[in-house]
Amino acid sequence: METMKHIEHIGTDGILQIVMPTNFQDTSVEVVVVVQPLSSAERSQGTRNHGIMLGES
């Protein structure tokens, strides 16, 4: 299992699109999503669409 942290944007249509690294192509995965709204300061410092690998187990 890999844990990744992404800062993403949910559009006005309510859709969250998650782009995964290429090593997860054509395979089934279990995904857990935790939604944490960001403050305006955090949004301005964000790295949208840049995943951060947090760990493997």
Vertex 54, ends 51 and 57: CA angle to 5°?
Answer: 125
Residue 6's SS3 state is coil
Residue 53's SS3 state is strand
Q: What is the pLDDT of residue 12?
A: 94
Residues 6+ apart with CB under 8 A from 52: 4, 5, 6
Q: What is the pLDDT of residue 54?
A: 54
Going from the first residue of the chain to its last (57 residues), give the mean pLDDT of each consecutive group of 10, the final group possibly shorter: 84 89 84 87 61 54
Q: What is the pLDDT of residue 56?
A: 56
Q: What is the pLDDT of residue 14?
A: 94
